[in-house]
Amino acid sequence: MSGTSADGVDAVLVEITRESDNPAVSLLCFERRPYPPGIRGRILRLPEHPNALREVCHLNVLLGELFAQAALDLLQTTGTSPTEVALIGSHGQTICHLPIPSTEGAFNLRSTLQIGEPCVIAERTGLLTVADFRPRDMAAGGEGAPLTPYPHYLLFRHPERCRVIVNLGGISNLTLLPPDTSVSEIVAFDAGPGNVLIDGVVRHLSGGTLEYDTDGAWAASGNVNQALLKRLLGHPFFRRSPPRSAGQEEFGPRMLEEILVEAEQKGISPADLVATISTLSVEAVVGSLETTIFPRHAVDEILLCGGGARNRWLSSALGTRLAPRPVLTTDDIGFPVGAVEATAFAILAYLTLVGQPGNLVSATGARHAVPLGKIIPGRNFPGLIS
């Protein structure tokens, strides 16, 4: 326990036994450990940023409500009773991801933060909820991403074809599935920006009237600015060897602002800018494949999923750059491109509940495989201690 005064950690060892309907508690040992120098001040200074703190706190609960409502609406749409559902898996909304370790005192720290309060989901639905999957992998020395490779293996492995699954989300990631593969042969890592920069540029250029480049129509009308593209491909992330993961910290608001300023200074037209940033997303995938995958594996087909798979320009450009290898979407093999990621976290939640690990150490760099996520009991949780 650490109280509002933030002056240290209280630690107790207690023995709890059941007597009739009430537990009996015996205190065996108590220790008080002050925080290291400077930590208390850093904690107490957090309220100096009240608007940011209040917004994160508020959005955490609001997103929990929205996630819960989405689950309840889905059950109503499908005519499914909540009593038929064993659990909910919720990834949450990542607002900060810092996978590169930083040293503080004796600790080597990696950190991540996802909001979308799972207690709200469990309370509104009455269902056991597993959420917040990344921190456990990071506590085991991993980068907390990508976490979808094992679900990709369960969903898309093929007995004869070597496949690469390319998830074109905000950040794109790759999963190599050799034919008739074992889990130990899977290779997976983040490739770089997927939709995050494209969407940001489009929102800015459209004055907020557009959220994304529909079908890549804007990109298709422009020409690539090679000087800007070359500079962006020089980002240090692309020189990192797997395992590697990325987030808005690398490819987010700061980079977006730099891009927009440079485009204005150099007179790059809106269409040319969207074409250039879209090409960056294509080259992030192609470069990752050419550097890490193709020299070692004869890939039979590439399957696209995620929101970017609906962008016809991105799909076509990847098809051209990766020819003669077929570039398909998971739609083409019967699995909706937009459903892959949510299905992955349903799988990871199930694995946690049955006590199996969900991370692949080859993908995240963790020291060992671990169960992922935090378990929030539902209304009829039977309890784990008799």
pLDDT tens per residue across span 200-246: 999 999 999 999 999 999 999 999 999 999 999 999 999 999 999 98
Mean pLDDT of 295-299: 95
Q: Which of 179, 98, 162, 137 is nearest to 360 (CA)?
A: 137
CA distance 165 to 317: 16
> Which amino acid is it at 289?
L
Which phi and psi angles does 106 have, rounded to 5°? -90, 0
* Contact yes or no for 182/171 (Cβ under 8 A): no
- Mean predicted confidence (pLDDT) in 26-45: 89
Structural domains of the chain, with CATH: 1-48 (no CATH), 49-144+369-376 (3.30.420.40), 149-334 (3.30.420.40)
The three-state DSSP-derived secondary structure of 128-194 is CEEECCHHHHHHCCCCCCCCCHHHHHHHHCCCCCCEEEEEECCEEEEEEECCCCCHHHCEEEEEEEC
Task: Single out the residue of 285, 250, 313 nearest to residue 175, CA to CA.
Answer: 285
pTM, full prediction? 0.91
Whether 77 has a pLDDT exceeding 70, the answer reads yes
Nearest to 285 by CA among 248, 249, 246: 246
Q: Is residue 279's pLDDT more than 70?
A: yes
User: Per-residue pLDDT averaged across 358-375, rounded?
Assistant: 95
pLDDT of res. 116? 96
User: Residue 87's closest CA among 58, 147, 127?
Assistant: 127
Question: What band does 386 get if pLDDT is binned at 50, 70 and 90?
Answer: low
What digits encode the pLDDT tens for the residues 62-71? 999 999 999 9
- Put the strands of the sheet holding 327-329 in their side by side order: 187-193, 171-177, 163-168, 301-305, 327-329
CA distances from 343 to 20, 48, 91, 313, 335 (A): 43, 40, 11, 26, 10
Residue 252 neighbours by CB distance under 10 Å: 18
pLDDT band of 382, cuts 50, 70, 90? confident
- Exposure string over 99-118, b if 16+ CB within 10 A, otherwise e: beeeeeeeeeebebbbbbbb
pLDDT digits (tens, 9 = 90+) for 330-364: 999 999 999 999 999 999 999 999 999 999 999 99
Residue 32 — φ and ψ, nearest 5°?
A: -115, 130
Q: What is the mean pLDDT of residues 123-133?
A: 97
Q: Span 239-261, mean pLDDT?
A: 92
pLDDT of res. 235: 96
For the chain, give the mean pLDDT: 93
Helix (H, G, I), strand (E, B) or coil at 356: coil
